[in-house]
Structures are given as C-alpha cells and as structure tokens.
Amino acid sequence: MNVPPVKRHHILAVDDDSMNRMMLDAILSTDYDFTAAASGPEALALLTEPAKPAIDLILLDINMPEMNGFEVLTALQQAPQTIGIPVIMLTGDLDQETEVRGIQAGAFDFVHKPFIPTLILRRIERTLELKALQHHMQQEIDRQTALAQAQLASTQRLFREMIETLADTIDAKDTYTHGHSHRVAEYAQEIARRAGKTAEYQRDVYYMAQLHDIGKIGIPSSLINKNGKLTEEEYAAIQQHTVIGGDILAHVAEMPELAEASRSHHERYDGTGYPDGLAGTEIPEKIRIIAVADSYDAMTSKRSYRDILPQAIVRQEMEKARGTQLDPEFDDIMLQMIDEDTNYELQEGRP
Ligand SMILES: [Fe+2]
C-alpha cells in the first residue's frame, strides 16, 4: 500500500553568522526542509518573491548588520504574506529585556546560543504544534460562526414567513381589504426609510404593520364584510379588533411592539382615537408611521361601500389628517410619496 508522503515543515533560519547557519542546517535537516538566509533583507526578499517557498517557521537572529532581528520581525508582521509565520528568535545573551521586547514585538519563543540540538528541536516542534492548534481552532470558530449565521438567517426567514402567513390569514377574512396588511407594511417601511430610520427599525415597522389588524380574527366575518351602515354597537364591536389583537400578540414576548401596534394603530394624534385615547408622542413613533400607511391604504383600496378614491381626494384627505388624526412629520412623507406617484400606482391592485 502506498502511504502518501507526510508534508515536511519548512524552516527558514536568518543569521549573519555562517557557522550558526551550518549548525542549524545540521540540526534540522533530518526532520525539516531547511533554508538559510544571511540577512534580514535576503530573508524578506525570499519570503515575498513570486516563487517563494511555503515557510512554516522562522528562526531569527537578533544581532545582525543592515537590519536587526526586531526590524525584520516588524517587517514580517506588516506583510500579509508573512504575518502568520511563527518566529523564534535566536539570542546570544540572556538579557531578559531583549526577550520581553521580542515577545511584545510578536516573537513566539526564544532559543539561546550556543544551540543545544534537543532543546531547539523541541522548541520548534512545540511552536509548530501550537500553530497547528491555533489554525484548527480558527477553522472551528469559522465553521461554528458560519453555522450560527446560517441558523440565524433560517430563523429570521421562518419568522418573516410566519408573519406573512398570519397577515394573509387576516386579509383572507376581510373580502374588501385583500392584501391590506402587506401594502400597509410596505408603505410604512418606506415612510420609515424616508424618515432616515435604520434598517432594523424599518424591519420592525414592517412586521408590526403586517400584523396590526390581527384582532380582526376575533370579529365575526358578517360584521367585517357587512354592506351598509353599521349600528353603534356593531361599530363598537369592530373597534374591539385593536384590543383583541393586542391580547393575541401579547404572547410574543420577544417583540412586545407587535402587540402595541395592534392595540394602538387606531389612536389619533389629537387624542381622539381608540382604544386608549393616546395623543401625540404617547403613541409610539413606529405606530404613528403605521397609522399614516393604514389611513392611506384604507382610501386607496376598495371598500364594501365604495370604490378606490381618486388620488386628488386621497391627497386632500391626507392633508386634512395632518396633525389631527396623523403625525404631521410622517404624514408629510406620505404626501411627498403621493406627489411622486404621478401614475397613481400606490393603490390596491397596482404593482
Ligand atoms: Fe385596524
């Protein structure tokens, strides 16, 4: 059976003393591929040339003419091709300050001269083991990170799909507001975007708007789809969809804003809305945005008692609601969107 050859590690020694280079060659050649350089510049040239050998570890002398070991180390750490190669410094003196300086500069270890073969081999072996371990750890971290990211993306996708499914369920109940939740969500997200809100904020607004009418599930269909005028009791019953929606979504502890949006989307800026009579900034900002989108879509979609209103009328009504029913800042953004919508595409049944 053919056993594939084990890849030998390649060691580069940088030392201006030819005796040292020869000694290192003698010590290391049995176990490693070995290359020697007589100076820092020679080593750096070798490491960056196009046909550079794949060096796994560098033995670096400190006292050298031209460039000393620290200067070479700094250069190695600045080049992307060499930054990851572990460096063991070779030092003649037992100066602790030099060692501290070397470790701070990024050296992996130290070997003192004169060389003791067993010791130097052991240091190299240990450094290579540590480096391999580091490499495997990094690979594992990368793998786990990618896995976590994929899982997060999948969970977020599931969340979005579940919300859209629920929104479809709501819209299916109301014959005359088909696609209402989706359109309100899109308009509200666009208002938030134009108001300079973050992507996260826009996404929250989108989800909140998708589910704002979920309480309609608790209202009899006959009432929701009734042709003709509602009695006072019937109107009061329909208004209950805000409270019912808030109660249903109170179960989503992870995103309390969903319940708030459902409960408060019929509050009015002037405080005359329902169910709590909140006014101005008492109504959370995202819900003030949704209220604008909701009013707009109510006028630009078919109702049991009327067709889609002409754009000029819609504009007039949105203008009238400014500061009374709706927050002027976000109503202004909607008015701007209406003015830009010269083909009147922002309505039910249009793209
Ligand atoms: Fe509603």
Profile the chain (351 residues) by mean pLDDT over runs of 10 residues: 73 95 95 95 91 91 92 92 92 77 88 89 95 93 96 94 91 77 96 98 97 93 84 94 96 95 97 97 98 95 80 95 97 97 84 56
Residues with CB under 5 A from ligand 1 (ion): 213
Ligand 1 centroid distance, CA of 325 (Å): 14
The pLDDT of residue 184 is 96
How many alpha carbons lie under 13 Å from residue 36 in its C-beta half-sphere? Answer: 17
Question: Looking at residue 228, what is its pLDDT?
Answer: 80
Per the structure, the complete domain to which residue 267 belongs is given by 174-340
The domain tally of the chain equals 2
> Which among 325, 303, 120, 116 has a CA at the least distance from the CA of 227?
303
Are 249 and 211 spatial neighbours (Cβ–Cβ below 8 Å)? yes
Instruction: Report pLDDT for 52.
Output: 80
> Ligand 1 center to residue 263 CA distance, Å?
9
Co-location of 132 and 181 in the same domain:
no
Are residues 230 and 106 part of one domain?
no
Tell me if 165 is assigned to some domain.
Answer: no
- Judge whether 216 counts as a catalytic residue: yes
- Residue 207 maps to a domain: yes
8 A C-beta contact, residue 230 and residue 221: no
* Centroid of ligand 1 to alpha carbon of 239 (angstroms): 8
Pairwise CA distance, residues 163 & 159, whole Å: 6
* Of 7, 52, 216, 302, catalytic: 216
Same domain? For 194 and 45 the reply is no
